[in-house]
Structure formats: structure tokens, C-alpha cells
Structure 1
């Protein structure tokens, strides 16, 4: 497989035990940097009126508000215009990686022939960056030499895949890669949740509803001790989590759209992403992991 040169993108630090360097790398690299991207999320992806958008858009078609300089014409009024899906999206840095490294010399506008492969590369790269996000956090928080070594090797492999050229990226078996990584992420999740009590401090009626893919849409969960709760893939749309403690709660894949996190403690939550936070509601008292930014639309 052909690899492209890493043009200024710092590779993940994988020295044994160097967790501080790994944290610094996550803060610097796994962050979306829109000025360094060709607006790929605004053109490569599809969206529909039923998923937080006011209209349907086909993949490969630019959003009507994407300007010639790749900036969003209505960035400061997305919510009032019905573009909640845009507010809740985050590429984790995949956009600038494709724009500046995979295709370093031309954009899809100046070179229309590369548009399709660039868009395809972005879709794959975002999946890879999502895995980098989860695996790097798992490596930070895991316990045990065997598990640490396995995560070290998997993170190194995914990081190597991000350096492939566009044609090679298309050939990645993402399902197989996700399956292998997911086994490790689940193991770390069990470790972390165990340290925080596995959600056993929650009221019995709530404990019975916790677990993978739990349907907690609109649930009243305010002022609760949800430490170590298993909320993997849970539906928490419009749930009330005000002033609840989610330290050590596993939130990978949880749908937090319009959930109320005002005053909640998520500082030690596991596998929480910027996209999840962006799609929720919160305030100045909401405690987030240091790697995440407080959304500007929060009061």
C-alpha cells in the first residue's frame, strides 16, 4: 500500500508509559481545525430534513451556505436556521488531515477530478480518527500490561492507516478494524466503570434501565449518582441529566441530542466526544473532560 508523507501532522507518541505526551497529542491533533479544511463535511456528507437539518442534501453536493473560501455563511445562526446537525458534528481533525496531507496540493474546487476520491477519503479518515480518539483515551485510562500493550499496538496500527493515500484508504476493512478495536474498548470500559461503581449508586428503578443501548429518551435523571453507569449506545435524547454525576460512565455511541447537562459532572466520563457535547444542552457549571471545549451556544 502506498503511503503519503506526513506533512507536519505529528504522529501519535507511543513511548511506553508516556501518558502525558499522549494527552498533549490528543489535545493538539484530535481537534477539528476548519480553516485548514476544504469544507469537506459541508460537501462530502449527506444530510436529511429528518436528522437535524432543514432540507435534504446528497453526498458530494455542497451545502448552499458553503462559501468560495470554504467558510460557512451562516455559522453564527445555525440553530435558528434549523441546522442542529451541523452544530452536533465534529470530524476530530480528519478534515484537515485529508485537505493538507492526503491531498496537499489541490482542493476539490480547483481540481474537480479529485473531488470524489477526496470525499471518499474523508469518510474513511473520519472513522479512523474516531478510533484514534477512543483508543488513545482507552490507553490513558486502562490498567494492566497486557491490555496496555494491546492498545499500544492497535493505536499504532490505526495511526499508520491514516498515512495511506486515497486509493489505499478505500480498501480498508473498517468493520473488521472496528471489531478488533471495540473488543479492547469494551474491556477498558468494564475496568473504568468498575472503579466508579458500575452505576450501582443509582436508584433501583433507574439501575434496571441502564445498560448497552438503553432507551432513556426523555428520562428524568437529574441529581443522580450515575458513576460508572453503562450508557454505551444509550438513547438519551432530551433526557434530564441536570446536576447528575456521570464520572466513569461509559458514553461511547450514546445519543445526547438535546439532553440537559446543566450542572452535570462529566469530567471523568469515558469515551465522550465533542460531537456529543455539541448536540446537548449545558451551562457554565457543566464539568467536562479537559480535552473537550465548552460549546459556544451553551448558556
Structure 2
């Protein structure tokens, strides 16, 4: 390889409609299955299995365009990765839980399992195109096929899946893909980053001052970056899987080629038109609104 990795490699959007939320084809499963507590993210308490009072009879949200102003910011940062329509239209064949209330409990449980499987598929589809992971392609393809098959199980089998065990196997592979990509890229960076701090998984960086920090090729897996200042930071090839970016300042940050960054993470963060994103992701609407 002779070209500079930062100009050569582009992680394309997976482009798989089955892994993108289609609320119009879903029976409002996230609005009913998930619990939430009154907080800065939610205006009220709601138990798991209890439909949100804003859920209309047609399974649409009655305050969809006002979620943030009405105290339901948490809804705007949730992504089911297409699990909602999968369970609604395929697992249960288009029969909703209101018409068949006896299926509600199982359907909600199946949705929670499917959401985990779809998230894993999203990461696998991204990782298989990473730079310098040819040695892992066979294993990743095998796990892609296995996980895809699991999403087609009937509901009674789906809810019995040992998802943590399956996730652990995939996570090990994703970690290898991340390390291979970051190590290979780091060797070719010019100028090379200065001495980098080693952040362990789940690092407590709440409110951290990381303005203009050079975080290229580092790992922030599972880091708590709530309200941290990452304005102007260089996060290219930084592993952000599971990082909590709630209210993180990403203005002018460079997130091109960031590993495992999701749209939901961006929705939770703060940024503006100067933030540089991977091609597969888009600027959240509330970023633009904050400029006015």
C-alpha cells in the first residue's frame, strides 16, 4: 500500500434497508416495549410493556415533530437498526399486538432480541470493509450468515436465544478488526500523533476537556464522554463503539473514518456544519436548529 490511508479508505454506508428504521412499517414497538424514567431525556416515567401515551392508534407518535421541546429527547436518539419493522412485518407477519393482545408480551421481548441482532449485523457489515482486515473476512462472513439466519427464527425460538453469548463472539472479532485497522493506519500517519494516552474500555471522560485533541487511531470503546469538549478534535480511525456521546461537543471535530460511529450517537451529541462526518452518516436536524 503506497497511498496515505486517510485519503484512500472510505467506509461506505452499508446501504441495507433492513438495517434502517422504518417506523411506518412498525407497530410502535420501541414506544411500547421499552421502559424509561422521568429525566432530562424523558418527561415522564413509563414501564416496559406499557404503551407511551403519545403513541397513536395508527402506531405513529403524536408529538414526533416536538419530541425535543416536549421533553422526550431520548426518543430522538434511539435507533432500532430496523428491528421494529422486521418483527412487525416478518416475525409476526403483519399482525399487530393491539389486534392480538395475547401476543404483545412475546412480541415486545422478540423486538428486544431482534434489535440486538440487527445492531450486531450493522457493525459486522461495517467492519468487513475495514482497512487491513483481510485475515478476518472468512470469520466475519460466517458470523454475518449466522446472525442473519437467527433474525429469521420464529418468535418462540427468537426469545430463547442466548444473545450475550453470540454478542461476545462477535465483539471479539470486532475488537480484532479495530486493532488491526488502527495499528496499520497509525504506522502510516504523517505527521504521526504525539504520545497517545491509553483509554481503557468504559473510560470515565465525563466533562473531559479534549478540545483539539489528536485522538487518531485511539480506542474510546464504551467511554463515557457525556458533556465532554471534543471540539476541533481529530477522531479519524478512533474506535467509538458504544461510546456515550450525550451532549458531547463535536463542533469542528473530524469524525471521518471513525470506527463504529452510529447515527444515534450523533443524535445525542452537539455539533454544527463544521463537524466532519463519515459519508455513511448525516447531520442531525437539531444541529442545524441550534445555529439559529
Q: Taking structure 2 as the reference length, what is the TM-score of the superposition?
A: 0.88
Matched, 1:156 2:128: no
CA distance in 1, matches of 2:13, 2:217: 25
Q: How many Å apart are 1:51 and its aligned residue?
A: 6.8
Which of the residues 27, 33, 39 maps onto 1:44?
33
Which of the residues 241, 249, 265 maps onto 1:252?
241
Distance 1:147 1:241, change over 3 A: same
Q: How many Å apart are 1:146 and its aligned residue?
A: 3.4
Aligned length: 277
Alignment correspondent of 1:194: 183
Matches within 5 A, 1:21-40: 26-40=15-29
Matches within 5 A, 1:1-299: 26-50=15-39, 52-141=41-130, 143-197=132-186, 207-208=196-197, 210-299=199-288
Distance 1:51 1:201, change over 3 A: farther
Distance 1:258 1:24, change over 3 A: closer
Q: How many Å apart are 1:28 and its aligned residue?
A: 2.8
Distance 1:60 1:224, change over 3 A: same
Distance 1:116 1:155, change over 3 A: same
CA distance in 2, matches of 1:162, 1:154: 12
Q: How many Å apart are 1:148 and its aligned residue?
A: 0.8
Distance 1:47 1:93, change over 3 A: same
Does the 8 Å CA contact 2:14/2:126 hold for their aligned counterparts? no
**Structure 1, unaligned runs of 5 or more:** 1-19
Does the 8 Å CA contact 1:238/1:258 hold for their aligned counterparts? yes
Q: How many Å apart are 1:195 and its aligned residue?
A: 3.2
Q: How many Å apart are 1:105 and its aligned residue?
A: 2.9
CA distance in 2, matches of 1:31, 1:222: 32
Does the 8 Å CA contact 1:232/1:253 hold for their aligned counterparts? yes
Runs of 4+ in 1 over 4 A off after TM superposition: 22-25, 198-204
The superposition leaves residues 215-265 of structure 1 with CA deviations (integer Å, 9 ceiling, x where unpaired) of: 111111122221111100101001111121111000011000010111211
Distance 1:23 1:267, change over 3 A: closer
CA distance in 2, matches of 1:229, 1:251: 9
Q: Taking structure 1 as the reference length, what is the TM-score of the superposition?
A: 0.86
CA root-mean-square deviation: 2.2
Q: How many Å apart are 1:285 and its aligned residue?
A: 2.1
Distance 1:211 1:243, change over 3 A: same
- Three-state SS of the structure 1 residue aligned to 2:221 is coil
The superposition leaves residues 31-60 of structure 1 with CA deviations (integer Å, 9 ceiling, x where unpaired) of: 111111111100011111247212211111
